[in-house]
Homo-oligomer: A and B are copies of this chain.
Amino acid sequence: MSPILTQFQRTRFAASSLAMAKGDSRNEVLASLAELIRVNMAKILKENQQDVARIATDHPMRDRLLLTQERLGALADSVISVMQLPDPAGQVLSKKTLPNGLELSKITVPLGVVGVIFESRPNVTIDVAALCIRSGNAVVLRGGSDAFHTNTILVQMIHRALEKHGFSTDLVYLMPTDRAHVTTLLTAVKFIDVIIPRGSEALIQRVRKESLVPTIETGAGVCHTYVAASAELSMAVNIVVNAKVSRPSVCNSLDTIVLHQSIAAEFLRLVAVPLQNYSVKIYADNVAFETLAQVSYPFLERATESDFGREFLDFACSIKVVRDLPEALAHITNYSSRHSEAIVSSDEIEAKFFLSTVDAAAVYWNASTRFTDGGEFGLGAEIGISTQKLHARGPFALEKLVTEKWIGIGQGQIR
């Protein structure tokens, strides 16, 4: 067996010790981890600088990678907040006695070993490890090579916290960053129970294609907001602008504005001002293009087919004008990545039809798609936003880091 597989086996073995440890002792590990992060800030920042220094000053990755005293403080706080969430394992989901006397219960148990593949954000290392330790899971982390020094020192802190409370450091394993080892992880069905890719569409596609281990897909969000004929336009402007500009680099930000033809011109004139302030580039269909050209919108292009269903992750969006609700729904069905979708409308029947028809992890009526987030939903830190339908949909947070187990207690029952 390769050294990596041998380590996976050790992690699998260690997982049962954590699963059986009481929630209190797992929380003691987290308390120590938060303290270690605070006490060792200077040391962590020094390692982080080694990574950051290799990135060009104007590259967006630099900010994603950068840790500061403030960010480390927030990271320690988030570890403490995970401690305060209820233990998702050990819940009795059902309990009954079958006619033959067999006592049958279904309980939640930790998943086992969780594999997470992520790119440059080093906070993922701490967030994911904290969530896994809290829920009794072991974790294999495969971070990006750009964050190598940062991830290494952070995992050192995690190992020291585990050791302090008598747990094996095998519970949290940071893999080497060679690309070839990703395949080892994706095919280790015997040792890894679930793999969660966090990052670019290319990463998710690779995992989907190669993984033999069950996977939770997270990430890609092509999010629409439909402004209906009955919409209160000032509210629609607020929602659309917020959904686009409050944090364009994240998956729940707006990508396409869908407009009912009857309010399109008026809405566009209103929304043009704030969007222009944020230099939002607009890829407009022909109808919207005319109106925006009339008001001399400066960052305007004609949309091509590829601008619909496109995740912009930047100060940019596309606009589609539709005849009616059915056309809006057809457009969304066709281009949505089933992450977050919204309608702005004053018509309850129309809005409820939209909410029940649109197939997405989260659907909103008169609210911004930016709310799709574990923290906002009151679930605590999340491992990602699941855009698939099995197991977890939407924020994949602590409560979903468990599976079920059926337990039958008999007195000799046979079938």
Copies in the complex: 2
- Contact between chains at B390 and A216 (CB < 8 Å): yes
Tell me, yes or no, whether A357 is within 8 Å of chain B by CB.
Answer: yes
Q: Would you give 20 A-B contacts (Cβ < 8 Å), ordered by A? A: A98-B378, A102-B371, A111-B389, A209-B212, A214-B388, A232-B412, A242-B414, A355-B409, A360-B405, A362-B406, A362-B407, A364-B407, A366-B409, A367-B412, A367-B414, A368-B414, A372-B406, A391-B391, A393-B405, A394-B404
* Distance, CA A371 to CA B406, complexed state (A): 11
Interfacial chain B residues near A364, Cβ < 8 Å: 407-410
User: Can you add 7 more A-B contacts, CB < 8 Å, to A112-B389, A242-B415?
Assistant: A20-B357, A189-B208, A355-B407, A362-B405, A362-B408, A364-B409, A365-B408
- Contact between chains at B214 and A389 (CB < 8 Å): yes
* Distance, CA A112 to CA B411, complexed state (A): 42
- Contact between chains at B393 and A403 (CB < 8 Å): yes
* Distance, CA A94 to CA B403, complexed state (A): 19
Main secondary structure of the interface of A (DSSP, over half): mixed
Tell me, yes or no, whether A397 is within 8 Å of chain B by CB.
Answer: no
Tell me, yes or no, whether A235 is within 8 Å of chain B by CB.
Answer: yes
* Distance, CA A215 to CA B193, complexed state (A): 14
Tell me, yes or no, whether A168 is within 8 Å of chain B by CB.
Answer: no
Asked, given contacts A377-B406, A415-B368, whether A389 binds B193 with beta carbons under 8 Å apart, the answer is yes
The digit string for A224-252, where 1 denotes a CB below 8 A from any CB of B, is 00000000100100110011001000000
- Contact between chains at A412 and B238 (CB < 8 Å): yes
Closest Cβ–Cβ distance, residue A13 to chain B (whole Å): 9
* Distance, CA A20 to CA B355, complexed state (A): 12
Closest Cβ–Cβ distance, residue A349 to chain B (whole Å): 14
Interfacial chain B residues near A232, Cβ < 8 Å: 412
List chain A positions with a Cβ less than 8 A from chain B.
16, 20, 96, 98, 102, 104, 111-112, 189, 193-194, 208-209, 212, 214-217, 232, 235, 238-239, 242-243, 246, 355-357, 359-368, 370-372, 376-378, 388-394, 403-415
Q: Closest chain B residue to A388 by CB distance?
A: B214
Interfacial chain B residues near A414, Cβ < 8 Å: 238-239, 242-243, 246, 367-368, 370
Interfacial chain B residues near A362, Cβ < 8 Å: 405-408
- Contact between chains at B409 and A390 (CB < 8 Å): no
Of listed A366, A392, A393, A413, residue having the most chain B CB within 10 A: A413
Interfacial chain B residues near A377, Cβ < 8 Å: 98, 104, 406
User: Contacting A366 at CB < 8 Å: which of B372, B406, B410?
Assistant: B410
* Distance, CA A357 to CA B415, complexed state (A): 25
Asked, given contacts A389-B403, A393-B404, A405-B361, whether A371 binds B413 with beta carbons under 8 Å apart, the answer is yes
* Distance, CA A186 to CA B236, complexed state (A): 40
Interfacial chain B residues near A411, Cβ < 8 Å: 366
- Contact between chains at B20 and A367 (CB < 8 Å): no
